[in-house]
Structure 1
Amino acid sequence: MGHEELLARHRAVMPDWMALYYEQPIELASASGRRVTDREGRTYLDFFAGILTNAVGYDVAEISDAIRSQLDTGVLHSSTLYLIRSQVELAEKIAELSGIPDAKVFFTNSGTEANETALMLATRYRRSDQVLALRNSYHGRAFATVAITGNRGWSATSLSPVKVAWVHGGYKFRSPFKDLSDTDYIKACVADLREVIETATAGDVACLIAEPIQGVGGFTSPPDGLFGAFKEVLDKYGILFVSDEVQTGWGRTGEHFWGIQAHGVTPDVMTFAKGLGNGLAIGGVVARGDVMDCLTANSLSTFGGNPIATAGALATVNYLLDHDLQANAAKLGERLLDGLRDIAADRPAVGDVRGKGLMIGIELVGPDGAPDPAKAVAVLEGTRERGLLVGKGGLYGNVIRLAPPMTLTEDEVEEALGILEDVL
């Protein structure tokens, strides 16, 4: 069965709001390393990795062996009502890596569920339903996470279980403060934060939640130090700080293991998912022990932290650390950024090239600098035609997102740069 027939079946039974890439969508049938092959036999270099999820690449023996070993026991599932050895071992490792004092970990099935859990913890701990979030943010597709998503293209409803106030900071390229120096930009955003707390809330806010680099928002990020300055303000009010590391965790930014570390601050709560499982469904929350333990009702997770997911995730984290993929992300990310900026130098359609490590955005614009989503679609299609898969996003749908597996090689960087230069 080819792509055309499967697409017709997909449209008959799947919701209209479930997006598909490409004018002629493709099915991925097999994969190895950083390359995937579609059902019709075409092979591509994958520079989006299942939306940053296949962080180590495809068909990695150490991860596959760990999953098979758990499968061989016959215990695919037990729920959190029973002890799960790989869950405890993974939680110990994440608690240590987090840098959060007295940290405890709760596992979920996705980043959306992780952020929902963080909101429940913060609102219960602070006994407040008020939340601060950043403009242009994305935190998931569930009821509360849609409410704190500051990107209209992903906000499916105005109904909300929390009261949200929005602050500036995550997207400097189109900010009203964009012409300021980084130092003055931080000062302006901090002043905005204080004013929002004083004028748009009752003061007893539960938390501020922020992505160190806004993912769906187009891989945008503030100057380093912004969230450190934010934390000083939050601490004066007793407001918790939640760092959404669903896309920035596990060393992808190159310079740090967690994206928030660029800001010289330790959050009260971090959420994670995506790259942790290298394709398996797993997410979670790591938080200060007093925050994690604030719930007084019974709770559990049927599937979160299940034996298969945690066995594979533990192998993934060990592989990331043993092979120092953070350093590889830093080295090859720098080469990729430099190459893209060289390409952009004489191409006015490229308004901005930004990012850290292997998390890079290319913002496409019209002659007047306005967002040009049609150009992004053209690049998405053009790269696929030439054997490269990339992502797309941004507030206006005009940003190409690059997030290849962190096992990327120098030759693959040059191959991708050649394709992108041709298409751009």
Structure 2
Amino acid sequence: MTKDLFARHRAVLPDWLALYYEDPLEITHGEGRHVWDSAGNKYLDFFGGILTTMTAHALPEVTKAVSEQAGRIIHSSTLYLDRPMVELAERVAQVSGIPDPRVFFTTSGTEANDTALLLATTYRRSNTILAMRNSYHGRSFSAVGVTGNRGWSPTSLSPLQTLYVHGGVRTRGPYAHLDDRDFIDACVADLKDVLGHTRPPAALIAEPVQGVGGFTSPPDGLYAAFREVLHERGVLWIADEVQTGWGRTGEHFWGWQAHGRSGPPDIVTFAKGIGNGMSIGGVIARAEIMNCLDANSISTFGGTQVTMAAGLSNLTYLLEHDLQGNARRVGGMLIQRLRAAAAQVPHVREVRGRGLMIGVELTRPGTDEAAPEAASAVLEEARAGGLLIGKGGGHDTSVLRIAPPMSLTVAEAEEGAAILERALRSL
């Protein structure tokens, strides 16, 4: 049955549409932190549809909100007043940390980043963008143009002039040997050098934790130091919170808050977890920036009633059940458990992360050379043991990505860690 579906998939869908596993998996249903495939196998889900099932599979509060809203009206577009959209925008603005915020909803993180780039370049009258090496911001033409990850950049053509700066990866590159303070100073010097060779850019776009890049991050305070340099020149800061938002890192509600010494970003983009599987993305910006467009615009599906009802219910559940605190507590335990297990596995170069956003980087033993074949082998072995994880990384996809729903229990974390430990030892 699955083989037949795989053959049909290959016959009508693009060759570049990636699938995990040698024998691809069809997930038919889920509950809590578990999913089942078409053969009836049960898995503990440590990837959540690429960090999208943020609270839990089939969360009753969300499914009820979706069902009730679908029974009234599913969609009308933004040409009409939309109560669920206004209500969710009010809640997002309230928790944004941005002064005088305006919120615009899209259908994905790609579209959110595309909108942020449109706002920044229009507001600043510049098409030059600063981006981080090893970054990923989506699959649209403009988002690919600011993505600093070769594996996810199918073209060098772009409507933007993009300049890449150091800092997104702490343990690789020319500054890896420095301590945190000197690392930040070196990256700031690099930024100033870049700015000295170009006209003032529109904005810096940066993920507080690089998702597709393998859950890498700079020392706390790097983007605050960048912000001070950028602010002097009027350059905007766009924080791509598509993967880090809503408390997933545990320590903060937004990833940018680890770098918040000089205040919040000018623009924040979000998506993935807020909809718990429904297609919601969005942009938060100061009113003067959001309102800088002088042409008409709408969003046909951004802000549609049924997705907004899901997002509002999901955000309410997350806040009322302190899932940020759970990510901090359970995630802290999980990362320590994985570090202890990895210490006995020569392939593991580093276990890193924050909250329930953990990366395990694999290399060929005794070297810093990426080992994508090892990552694929562990992915397969973990699945055989009943655990679904992801992979990524800017060095040939050799990082295991672990990002369970934020309601993960201690018992489930222990179970998943034990399965992953066995999979790593199988190398």
Task: Tell me whether the two structures share a fold, i.e. TM-score over 0.5.
Answer: yes
In 1: Cα distance, 2:387 partner to 2:50 partner: 14
Q: Which residue of 1 aligns with 2:202?
A: 206
**AA of the residue aligned to 1:71:** A
Q: Which residue of 1 aligns with 2:158?
A: 160
- CA shift digits 1:181-213 (9 cap, x unpaired): 0111000001111111112x21x2100000000
In 1: Cα distance, 2:417 partner to 2:77 partner: 45
In 2: Cα distance, 1:128 partner to 1:369 partner: 39
Q: Which residue of 2 aligns with 1:353?
A: 351
Q: CA shift at 1:175, angstroms?
A: 1.8
1:394 maps onto 2:393 in alignment: yes
Q: CA shift at 1:421, angstroms?
A: 1.1
Q: CA RMSD in A?
A: 0.6
1:270 maps onto 2:268 in alignment: yes
Q: Which residue of 1 aligns with 2:213?
A: 217
Q: Which residue of 2 aligns with 1:132?
A: 130
Q: CA shift at 1:96, angstroms?
A: 1.2
- Structure 2: which 5+ residue stretches go unaligned? none
Q: Which residue of 1 aligns with 2:30?
A: 31
> Among 336, 339, 346, which residue is 2:337 paired with?
339
- CA shift digits 1:146-198 (9 cap, x unpaired): 00000000001111010000000001121210010011100000111111111
Q: CA shift at 1:57, angstroms?
A: 1.1
In 2: Cα distance, 1:332 partner to 1:176 partner: 34
The count of corresponding residues between Structure 1 and Structure 2 is: 420
**AA of the residue aligned to 1:349:** H
In 2: Cα distance, 1:38 partner to 1:345 partner: 33
In 2: Cα distance, 1:207 partner to 1:104 partner: 18
Q: CA shift at 1:59, angstroms?
A: 1.1
In 2: Cα distance, 1:207 partner to 1:317 partner: 29
Q: Report the identity percentage.
A: 59
Map 1:287-366 onto structure 2 (within 5 A).
287-366=285-364
**AA of the residue aligned to 2:143:** T
Q: Which residue of 2 aligns with 1:68?
A: 67
- Structure 1: which 5+ residue stretches go unaligned? none
Q: Which residue of 2 aligns with 1:148?
A: 146
Q: Which residue of 1 aligns with 2:21?
A: 22
**AA of the residue aligned to 2:221:** G
Q: Which residue of 1 aligns with 2:371?
A: 372
**AA of the residue aligned to 1:280:** M
In 1: Cα distance, 2:342 partner to 2:26 partner: 31
2:142 counterpart SS class = helix
1:280 maps onto 2:278 in alignment: yes
- CA shift digits 1:377-406 (9 cap, x unpaired): 011000000000000000120000000000
In 2: Cα distance, 1:252 partner to 1:98 partner: 15
Q: Which residue of 2 aligns with 1:409?
A: 409
Q: CA shift at 1:369, angstroms?
A: 2.2
Q: Which residue of 1 aligns with 2:51?
A: 52
> Among 212, 232, 239, which residue is 2:235 paired with?
239
In 2: Cα distance, 1:276 partner to 1:340 partner: 27
Q: Which runs of 4+ in 1 moved over 3 A?
A: none
Q: Which residue of 1 aligns with 2:9?
A: 10
What TM-score results when the alignment is normalised by the length of structure 2? 0.98
Q: Which residue of 1 aligns with 2:90?
A: 92
Q: Which residue of 2 aligns with 1:249?
A: 245
In 1: Cα distance, 2:368 partner to 2:114 partner: 36
In 2: Cα distance, 1:257 partner to 1:29 partner: 31
Q: CA shift at 1:321, angstroms?
A: 0.1
